[in-house]
Structure 1
């Protein structure tokens, strides 16, 4: 099959009509029409939320599956136009896991990029499946940012007018597999957690390690923050709420998201008695031993590991001795993890800066 992308954007195109936002301004030099896909220049691909085409050229077969519209071609190749509700169907148990693996999946990542992860999890998108990411519009900052995200998910980002084979002759970028370590640092509310989560949306197996204190009625702000994090994670992500991070990393598989190193350190320092008025003489050595174990496990971790940490030293000097102590320990820990990482990124005002 030959798949022609006459348009690759969201429903209103990119830039959207009469829109003056920054995203549409940045997209003006290379306008993208609303998504339109044709197969072998013979028929248009039907949207997943509508009935399949009733009349197709001889040898083609179209069917609506739990995962979207699938086209079977005379040459035996399979194309899937994924439904944005595929994740929900699989979460409720209504999605089937016996559909065959396809050669190319078209996914509207403007609606939901986690559909890629859901399809990989159920086996419809396999190791030999190419993914085309479409649906970009001013929900994303710029075309360059859309292309960056597609690369993270191991997907092609086709341009308007591009023709892609099924399977494609030009393969999508290979997505990261473990062992591979990424440290995402940034200040408070910088977008670092969102970036870390975004990187793993297309992964079929994710363990989320939450190191912060458990929510309580005494701290409604923290409870609301934890709830917001839980609600935006894909349903298949497994959550571990613990400070025993080193053990989990040593035995990890698939992908791991650690959020965050800063709260882990604060919890460890508390467990070791560093916050007491008169810390025991061995407290500092205990903290150092826990840090050494974490760094060693980080180095040996066989998974695709993404960790969030707090950038220190960019604000005012801490007003308390304990605050200064925490800053110094965390700064050294961040350096140790960064030295053992393939990638380090800095989140600033929601923008991501790669630290070479």
Structure 2
């Protein structure tokens, strides 16, 4: 089956003209095109929100159909507007429409993404092919997309406040069918801290519906048991909690406070090193500003700086987010 400009398909199901031997069917996932030789191509819908019918009360097993009535079986190729809604790739992988032999084609690189190079970088992370304008893409394609990262794979995203580091971490996992979001910050309390509660709510709203959130500081346990993808946000708030539990913030901490923090860090590093998951962790870049005026501030800066070095040394990738741009660190 070859996709070219002989016909155009819209999400409404409008078709014209359809070549002989082709069947075109509107589905909840988009428009399905089937050729006489059995090839199946899906023009994925780009509308907002989960597939029609809403997310299920309980997530189905990986590989089963989620809640779309058709197509329920794997297709050969999916064309996705990856500038408008790239998370549909993960949604369709979760439902089984996109399988291991499905070619994902990303289109839509325009003013919504700053450059063709940035669009191609994102597509690589999602395991998608980016054809040039006017290209004729065969199904299956003559050139396959570069394989996206799979576990075990560790990526550390560092950056300053409002640098875009959390957005970059989320972007990297949009096409994954199973994601655990490990939130290490304090639990939101709308009555006592409405500003923090709104920050947490904002983060939740922008995540795909099938991502499962775990509010925990036991990152070692999360990493040991995970088999899909894990997003950790962030190591700075995790270290804050560990230091708080050990009493290292106190002016006169207990004699074993530093040893307790060291033990927690070593446990995390061992879990990070041995995890079988595809993990993306966010951390705060420290040491670029003035020396903290307090003892506790200096201890936190030193501890987090060392933690970042140790985690970075055990990672396949380390990237720095600055002003919404990402620099890969060799």
* TM-score (ref. length: structure 1): 0.87
Cα drift, residue 97 of structure 1 = 6.8
Matched with 2:105 is 132
Q: Is the 8 A contact 1:87 1:114 kept in 2?
A: no
Structure 2 counterpart SS, 1:337: helix
Are positions 1:199 and 2:161 aligned together?
Answer: no
Supply the distance in 1 between the matched residues of 2:93 and 2:23 (Cα, whole angstroms).
23
Matched with 2:251 is 277
Structure 1 counterpart SS, 2:136: strand
Unaligned runs of at least 5 residues, structure 1 = 5-37
Are positions 1:77 and 2:50 aligned together?
Answer: no
Matched with 2:51 is 89
Matched with 2:121 is 148
Deviates more, 1:80-89 or 1:129-138: 80-89
Matches within 5 A, 1:278-293: 278-293=252-267
Cα drift, residue 54 of structure 1 = 6.8
Matched with 1:341 is 315
Deviates more, 1:149-158 or 1:50-59: 50-59
Structure 2 counterpart SS, 1:262: helix
Matches within 5 A, 1:1-356: 1-4=1-4, 38=5, 43-48=6-11, 50-53=12-15, 56-85=18-47, 87-89=49-51, 91-93=54-56, 95-96=68-69, 99-216=72-189, 217-356=191-330
Supply the distance in 2 between the matched residues of 1:152 and 1:45 (Cα, whole angstroms).
28
Structure 2 counterpart SS, 1:121: helix
1:77-99 Cα offsets, whole Å, 9 max, x none, are 11100001375226445523762
* TM-score (ref. length: structure 2): 0.93
Q: Is the 8 A contact 2:226 2:277 kept in 1?
A: yes
- Rate the CA distance shift 1:167–1:328 in 2: closer, same or farther, 3 A: same
Supply the distance in 2 between the matched residues of 1:320 and 1:123 (Cα, whole angstroms).
54
The count of residues paired between Structure 1 and Structure 2 equals: 318
Supply the distance in 1 between the matched residues of 2:105 and 2:218 (Cα, whole angstroms).
38
Unaligned runs of at least 5 residues, structure 2 = 57-66
1:280-312 Cα offsets, whole Å, 9 max, x none, are 100100000000000000000100000000000
Supply the distance in 1 between the matched residues of 2:308 and 2:215 (Cα, whole angstroms).
21
Cα drift, residue 109 of structure 1 = 1.3
Please, what is the CA RMSD of the aligned residues?
1.4
Q: Is the 8 A contact 1:2 1:166 kept in 2?
A: yes
Supply the distance in 2 between the matched residues of 1:286 and 1:239 (Cα, whole angstroms).
27
Q: Is the 8 A contact 2:22 2:34 kept in 1?
A: yes
Q: Is the 8 A contact 1:313 1:327 kept in 2?
A: yes
Cα drift, residue 75 of structure 1 = 1.2
